[in-house]
Amino acid sequence: MLSAGLPQGTVPKLERPGPLRERVYEALLELITIRALRPGQHLVESELAGHLGVSRQPVREALQRLNTEGWVDLRPAQGAFVHEPTEEEADQLLTVRTLLEAEAARLAAANAGTAGISALEELCAKGESAVADGDVDLVVATNAAFHAKVMELAGNVVLAELAGQVDRRVRWYYTPVARQRGIQSWIEHRELIAAIAARDEARATEVMRAHTEHTRKTYHEREAL
Amino acid sequence: MLSAGLPQGTVPKLERPGPLRERVYEALLELITIRALRPGQHLVESELAGHLGVSRQPVREALQRLNTEGWVDLRPAQGAFVHEPTEEEADQLLTVRTLLEAEAARLAAANAGTAGISALEELCAKGESAVADGDVDLVVATNAAFHAKVMELAGNVVLAELAGQVDRRVRWYYTPVARQRGIQSWIEHRELIAAIAARDEARATEVMRAHTEHTRKTYHEREAL
DNA sequence: GCTCGGTAAACTGTAGACAAAAGCCAATCC
DNA sequence: GGATTGGCTTTTGTCTACAGTTTACCGAGC
């Protein structure tokens, strides 16, 4: 057992480039989320391939995956188009997110230990200071991290995977909204932590439900602008 | 407008073969669900390609999709392996299913019309007679159709898509269980219809939750065998 | 007898090429 | 003048070929 003598952290995984399709997938996903590729736009394989400096094959495989995850629509014999979210779909997606996040909050309340709770408080403090500094990007990132942490504490891998996909798409649809929500969001986060720390499953569920519902309300108000 | 003179039904869609990857995908999924391809088995691309009479490319694309949906694990530079469900994962998956199905029941109770309710009753009758006849395959199929109908009545496309994936995997894990549940399952279906018809969202949620929870209990009892 | 090193086979990852289908534009006919 | 048909271009769908990596096997040495 040679490996027993090695420190675990120093040789994490011998960072290797990884499959091309993965990197193409992430690149395209990034381009879509920052709206460099606009909804409805026709994605030509050879164009993307040339632009990324790879062959068409990895691009195809990445588009396949993006298709199954709902980012692009793959029309047979016609190609890939960036998905165009409708009002109805956005609303349905948010309904599902509310459901998944609320369940995660309940499970977190049931399972979380003191270490997890202090981690949440740390993230919450980081988010609040980011709000105070007006660092919008950091606010958004920390918000995502907070929800991810709650999901992790829930300890349900399947749920986490689904919620991860749904959350990212929600963030895509509601990017402008997320930038508006500001400080109020973090007050609600504090309430959630309190409920989880108290192991109050019902209250954690309800707080999280109200929290995500606020996002939807903000969205619909935005339409009036 | 020449087409106006043509009868619509006679030329439905000129049934086209459709993309190869689709058919390969469905073929592989079928082989996995009926356990012709066993969990943990190494899927060699060229082998599958030869067996299905196509090239490796469509097989690769099908495997990609199966990977993102959790049916196979794609280990880099090593190939595809049929996913091996663990006890923990099966339990988590069932938790998620309970969540999604319960929400679907609630929405169905809120939205369903008389047409939808009678459709449910029809399916229920069909399932009961199948139980009486001892036609196990028909029972399983009708059960799936019943749940799909409830999902359709819920009117949330995003939810339906997620639940569709989860349900199919649940059915894969719990195939032996489904064959045992028999008549009791359909009594619960009747209760669900009653709750939906009464537009009682809370009761519909609870009935569906209890229903799927019964499946889990049956599963754990099975382990004792 | 066991371990280590080297070699070979097999499989995946990627690239390039060819054929088929869809869309577009122009020329033609009513 | 408008609609239609024909051919052309573009893009996808599929196949074949090649390079890189991993795994397994076999022989030599301790």
Choice between A214 and B146, residue whose per-residue pLDDT is larger: B146
The reply to whether A33 and A94 lie within a common domain is no
Last residue of a domain, one of B82, B99, B129: B82
* Residues of B contacting chain A (CB within 8 angstroms): 18-19, 21, 60-61, 64-65, 68-70, 76, 89, 92-93, 95-96, 99-100, 103, 156-159, 161-162, 166
Q: Provide the residue range defining the domain that includes B97.
A: 87-223
The reply to whether A130 and A73 lie within a common domain is no
The CATH number given to whatever domain includes residue A58 is 1.10.10.10
How close is the nearest chain B Cα to the Cα of A152, in Å? 13
Structure tokens at B44: 């060699």
Strand partners, A131: none
A57-CA/C10-C1' distance, Å: 22
Task: Please tell me the distance from the alpha carbon of residue A146 to that of residue A163, in angstroms, as a whole number.
Answer: 13
Exposure pattern of A176-190 as b/e (b: 16+ CB <10 Å)?
ebbeebeeebbebbe
- The answer to whether residue A5 sits within a structural domain is no
Going along chain B, which residue ranges are E strands?
42-43, 72-75, 79-82
Question: Are B136 and A71 contacting, i.e. CB atoms less than 8 angstroms apart?
Answer: no
Last residue of a domain, one of A82, A99, A122: A82
At CA A78, angle to CA A72 and CA A81, rounded to 5? 20
SS3 B73: strand
The reply to whether B218 and B170 lie within a common domain is yes
Last residue of a domain, one of B42, B67, B82: B82
What is the reported pLDDT for A10?
39
| pLDDT score of B28 more than 80 | yes
Structure tokens at B40: 């943990």
Enclosing H/E stretch for A42: strand A42-43
| pLDDT score of A182 more than 80 | no
The CATH number given to whatever domain includes residue B125 is 1.20.120.530
- A89-126, pLDDT tens digit by residue? 999 999 999 999 999 999 999 998 899 999 999 999 99
Q: A101 Cβ partners below 8 Å, 6+ apart?
A: A147, A150, A151, A163, A208, A209, A211, A212
Mean pLDDT taken over chain A: 86
- The answer to whether residue B40 sits within a structural domain is yes
The reply to whether B92 and B197 lie within a common domain is yes
- The answer to whether residue B213 sits within a structural domain is yes
Q: B134 Cβ partners below 8 Å, 6+ apart?
A: none
Q: What are the counts of helices (DSSP H) followed by strands (DSSP E) for chain A?
A: 9, 3
The reply to whether B48 and B114 lie within a common domain is no
The reply to whether A138 and A35 lie within a common domain is no
The reply to whether A47 and A136 lie within a common domain is no
Q: Which of A47-56, A208-217, B21-30, B145-154 has the highest mean pLDDT?
A: B145-154
- The answer to whether residue A31 sits within a structural domain is yes
What is the reported pLDDT for A77?
83
Q: How many domains does chain A have?
A: 2
Task: Please tell me the distance from the alpha carbon of residue B160 to that of residue B154, in angstroms, as a whole number.
Answer: 8
- The answer to whether residue A1 sits within a structural domain is no
- The answer to whether residue B3 sits within a structural domain is no
- The answer to whether residue B95 sits within a structural domain is yes
* Residues of A contacting chain B (CB within 8 angstroms): 18-19, 21, 60-61, 64-65, 68-70, 76-77, 89, 92-93, 95-96, 99-100, 103, 156-159, 161-162, 166
Task: Please tell me the distance from the alpha carbon of residue A196 to that of residue A205, in angstroms, as a whole number.
Answer: 9
The reply to whether A67 and A150 lie within a common domain is no
Give chain B positions within 8 Å (CB) of A168: none
- B148-179, pLDDT tens digit by residue? 999 999 999 999 999 999 999 998 988 777 66
What is the reported pLDDT for B102?
96
Q: How far is CA B184 from CA B22, B151, B180, B212, in A?
A: 37, 21, 10, 12
Task: Please tell me the distance from the alpha carbon of residue A119 to that of residue A127, in angstroms, as a whole number.
Answer: 12
The reply to whether A67 and A93 lie within a common domain is no
Q: At residue B55, what are phi and psi to the nearest 5 degrees?
A: -85, 175
A198-CA/D25-C1' distance, Å: 60
The reply to whether A39 and A61 lie within a common domain is yes
The reply to whether A208 and A179 lie within a common domain is yes
Q: Name the amino acid, one letter, at B50.
A: G
Q: Which of B4-8, B105-109, B126-130 has the highest mean pLDDT?
A: B105-109
- The answer to whether residue A145 sits within a structural domain is yes
The reply to whether A36 and A61 lie within a common domain is yes
Q: Which of residues 59-78 of A touch strand D (CB under 7 A)?
A: 60, 74, 76-78
C-beta atoms of A103 and B99 within 8 A: yes
